[in-house]
A and B are shown apart, each in its own frame.
Chain A
Amino acid sequence: MNVPLRASILGVSVWGPGLEGWAASRPILAGEHPYAPSTSPPPAPPILSPTERRRTGPVVRLALAVAHEAAQSSGLPPAALQPVFASSNGDGPVVGSILEALATAEAERVVSPTQFHNSVHNAASGYWSIGAGCRLPATCLGCHDDTWPAGLLAAMAELSAAGTPVLLCCYDHPLPAPLDAARAVGAPFAVALVLAPERGGQLLELSYDPVQAPAPMAPAAPALDELARTNPAARSLPLLAAVAGGRADRHGLRYLEGSLTLEFRP
């Protein structure tokens, strides 16, 4: 029988089109301000040294922007958080660029060393560990359109096993042409949560059912629904809206053949 997993949410962050960090996004997600999508390139990560910062592209910056803000808002040292990084596509621009080079260049050395180590799925997590001085174990996963529920499950299971606070960072970025026709992701979006053993407020309870379809969800603002439909990481928006508004919420997420049920209590 599946026992619900519980955690307190100590830190939160978001980055998306017109959702540039938690401070700016909270009133929008709470429904207090209107949502206006815009192109929002994330900043170069301050947590990295100038040398490492130079090597990061848009996807690593996206992941580190939310990882950094969630860690900071948790009040815990970044090095004390166990990273669980989840992405469906990983670094599309880097991988796409390597695929182009492999298909067209005739010269022997077509892939730069930096490009290659930036192409691994755990690149963002690697840069985070370096910048945060974090020596705790990290895991990095993908689950196609179900990467958000999978990441939540992995993070809560990790927390349950280790008892150490977990930094869950879930991010997805569009793939370049011609891959985008085969795998469409809308605008870049990322979310991060710091999850800790339950200690009172901001409680998240997660239940998993391998066969039950999810309970229907109240729709958010149409543009936000669109974002949730076109970026796997943006399936976190209903939870983020609840956290932003400080209101109790219960919703289901389709996960593989079944569902996760999330309950949030402020």
Chain B
Amino acid sequence: MTPLAITAMTAVSALGRGLAAHRDALLARRTGLRPNDFDPAVGGWIGRVDGLEQHRLPPSLSRYDCRNNRLAHLALEADGFADQVAAARARYGPGRIATVLGTSTSGIEATEDAYRRRTGDGALPPEFDFAGTQDLYALAGFVRAVLRLSGPAFVISTACASSARAFVDAANLIRAGLADAAVVGGADSLCRMTLHGFQSLELISPAPCRPCDAERAGISIGEAAGFALLAREGTGLALLGAGASSDGHHMSAPHPEGAGAVVAMREALRSAGLQPGDIDWINLHGTGTKANDAAEDRAVAAVFGDAVPCSSTKAWTGHTLGACGVLEAALAAQCMESGFVAGCLGVERPDPEFRAAVVTETVHQPVQRVVSNSFGFGGINCSLVLGAAR
């Protein structure tokens, strides 16, 4: 795969708005999680973004008003991202920039609210706008409207691999000649559906999640939005390769040996023209469940042995579901820029059965190439390779 330049990037999560806030939190080893005050009946801890309830969208885009699009808007305003897209728009033309974003629940929180405000005959309130909120495409429709883009667009929804997969589908469009650049990324926001859903699967940790810990007890759900600008040309950070696979095993449990994850990581390396030893850090999917972390450890050990340090960043941000792919790519970019490995946060005792080189503290060292994993329900696996284009 010819590398695609990542010429701009941004993220908003429980760690704050913009990349500097994320870098600072990683270095300070300071979690963004808090006890679940969004839906206390579910319990556990969450990664909540402050200020979303108060944030206002431009009046002309009021039909898109919902938690998910407000979160996306905060991210578009951070790190001068919208300005950099405007420059690309001037350079390539609005019709030559694609928009491919990932989300698992889009603006369904608005629908949850609308159901609670049903009128006497059971109808939803008349101001409820499905296409602007709950519909999957609402996220891309909104972002395209803000950025004034008119190239090809669609929204990817492959559960927790959504925004990682968005990089792959956007790269396909660019390589097929349908676009010269793409806004990729995604957003997922807190909503009762996912909180109750994961609770019903008994996957929510009562304490802040601690991936790779021997006593880990599940996930902490977070919300986030992140964007990256992919382009044919550019220097610096690049998408060097990508690999993906399906488990074809079970709808909500990973393959125990991580077979699909092995395929995704190997294909990512192959497409980047790299060997396992060329990678400086693996940002694990590392959700904090017993099953995921164990399966992923086996997969990582199968591909990399214990030669490459690996860790999960989800104890900082929570599991941001469809947004985790782009958020964790942004975290990887920060680690590359500042030269450190963000070892797992909150680990008291690493799982003694793990064979991969799990890191549990900050390690200052050059980080030039990163593999970032995202695995989703329905068994979709995606691994991205990020680094400086050679």
Chain A positions within 8 Å of B118 at CB level: 103, 178
Contact-residue size bin, chain A (C-beta under 8 Å from the other chain): 35 or more
Task: Output the least CB separation between A172 and chain B (Å).
Answer: 12
Q: List 5 A-B contacts (CB under 8 A).
A: A102-B196, A120-B159, A135-B245, A144-B136, A161-B172
Question: Which residue of A2, A137, A150 has the most chain B CB atoms within 10 A of its CB atom?
Answer: A137
Contact A177 B122 (CB under 8 A): yes
Interface range on chain B (Cβ under 8 Å from partner): 35 or more
Residue B95 at the A interface, CB < 8 A? yes
Given A88-B135, A127-B251, residue A141 in contact with residue B151 (CB < 8 A): no
Q: Does A13 interact with chain B (Cβ within 8 Å)?
A: no
B303–chain A nearest beta-carbon distance, Å: 16
Q: Select which of B129, B131, B196, B249 is within 8 A of A130 by beta carbon.
A: B249
- Give the contact stretch, choosing among B163-171, B284-292, B358-366: B163-171
CA distance A211 to B129 in the complex (A): 26
In contact, B154 and A142 (Cβ under 8 angstroms): yes
* A126 close to B377 (CB less than 8 A): yes
Across the interface, do B155 and A179 meet the contact criterion of CB distance under 8 Å?
no
B68-109 interface (Cβ within 8 A of A): 94-96, 104, 108
Minimum CB distance partner of A112 in chain B:
B200
8 A Cβ contacts from B132-153 to A: 134-138, 140-141, 150-153
Residues of A within 8 A of B245 (CB): 135-137
A36 at the interface (CB under 8 A from B): no
> Does B124 lie at the interface of the complex (its beta carbon under 8 Å from any beta carbon of A)?
yes
Do the beta carbons of B378 and A126 come within 8 Å of each other? Answer: yes
Would A150 and B157 count as touching, CB distance under 8 A? no
- For the A-B complex, the count of residue pairs with Cβ-Cβ distances under 8 Å equals 233
How far does the alpha carbon of A131 sit from the alpha carbon of B31 in the complex, in Å?
41
B248 touches A103 (CB 8 A): no
Helix, strand, loop or mixed for chain B's interface? mixed
Contact of B247 among A1, A129, A182, A211 (CB under 8 A): A129
The reply to whether the CB of A3 lies closer than 8 angstroms to some CB of chain B is yes
Using CB atoms, name the residue of chain B closest to A105.
B196
B263 at the interface (CB under 8 A from A): yes
- With contacts A136-B246, A141-B169, A256-B152 known, is A102 near B193, CB below 8 A? yes
A139-B115 contact in complex given A116-B197, A129-B246, A179-B130, C-beta closer than 8 Å: no
Interfacial residues, chain A to chain B (CB-CB below 8 A):
1-3, 5, 55, 79, 83, 86, 88, 90, 95, 98-100, 102-103, 108-113, 115-123, 125-127, 129-130, 132-144, 146-147, 150-151, 153-154, 156-158, 160-161, 177-179, 181-183, 208, 210-211, 255-258
Q: Which residue of A lies closest to B138 (CB)?
A: A144
Contact status of A144 and B123, CB under 8 A, knowing A103-B116, A119-B197, A122-B377 = no
A83 partner residues in chain B, CB cutoff 8 A: 246
Q: Are B200 and A161 in contact (CB under 8 A)?
A: no
Given the contacts A120-B157, A138-B158, A142-B157, A183 and B135 also touching, CB distance less than 8 Å: yes
Query: Is B128 engaged at the interface, CB distance under 8 Å to the other chain?
Result: yes
Please, which residues of chain B bring their CB within 8 A of the CB of A121?
A: 104, 136, 157-159
* A255: chain B residues within 8 A (beta carbon): 152
Residues in A neighbouring B197, C-beta threshold 8 A: 98, 111, 113, 115-116, 119
- Interface assignment of B192: CB less than 8 Å from any CB of chain A: yes
Look across to chain A and name the residue whose beta carbon is closest to the beta carbon of B202.
A113
Among residues of B, the one whose C-beta sits closest to the C-beta of A156 is B176
Contacts A113-B201, A154-B172, A256-B152 known; A129 to B137 CB distance under 8 Å? no
Which partner residue on chain B sits nearest A137 by CB separation? B244
Q: How far is the CA of A182 from the CA of B150 in the complex (A)?
A: 26
Report if B54 contacts A (CB, 8 A). Answer: no
Residue B30, interface by CB 8 Å: no
Min CB gap A92→B, angstroms: 11
Give B288 Cβ to nearest chain A Cβ, in Å: 18
Q: Are B157 and A141 in contact (CB under 8 A)?
A: yes
Chain B, residues 376-390, CB within 8 Å of chain A (1/0): the string is: 111111100000000
- B150 & A137 in contact (Cβ 8 Å cutoff): no
Bound-state CA distance A160–B251 (Å) is 29
B274 within 8 A of A: no
Tell me the complex Cα distance, A156–B176, Å: 9
**A118 and B251 contact, Cβ closer than 8 Å, known pairs A99-B115, A157-B176:** yes
Does A116 contact B124, Cβ atoms closer than 8 Å? Answer: no
Shortest distance in angstroms between A135's beta carbon and chain B's nearest beta carbon? 5
Q: Separation in Å of the B22 CB from the closest CB of chain A?
A: 27
Of the candidates A86, A102, A154, the one whose C-beta lies within 8 Å of that of B192 is: A102
Name the residue in A90, A95, A153 with the highest tally of chain B Cβ atoms < 10 Å from its Cβ: A153
A77-B111 Cα distance, complex, nearest whole Å: 41
Cβ-defined contact, A133 with B248, below 8 A:
yes
Check if B158 sits within 8 Å of A116, measured CB to CB.
no
A208→B173 CA distance, assembly (Å): 11
Contacts of A182 in B (CB 8 A): 124, 128-130
Pick from A122, A130, A143, A151: contact of B159, CB under 8 Å: A122
B385 shortest CB reach to chain A, Å: 15
Which of B128, B141, B150 makes the CB contact (< 8 A) with A144? B141
Chain A residues with CB under 8 A of B123: 178, 181
B260 CB within 8 Å of chain A: yes
Query: Is B178 part of the contact surface with A, judged by Cβ < 8 Å?
Result: yes
Q: B60 an interface residue at 8 Å Cβ cutoff?
A: no
CB contacts under 8 Å to A, within B161-202, are: 165, 168-169, 171-173, 175-178, 192-193, 196-201
Task: Check: B28 CB closer than 8 A to any chain A CB.
Answer: no
Asked if A129 and B378 sit within 8 Å, CB to CB, the answer is yes
Q: Which residues of A contact B169 (CB under 8 A)?
A: 139, 141, 154, 157-158
Q: Shortest distance in angstroms between A51's beta carbon and chain B's nearest beta carbon?
A: 11
- Over the window 231-266 of chain B, the binary record of Cβ atoms lying under 8 Å from chain A Cβ atoms (1 yes, 0 no) is 000000000000111111111100000011001100
Cα A48 to Cα B380 in complex, Å, equals: 18
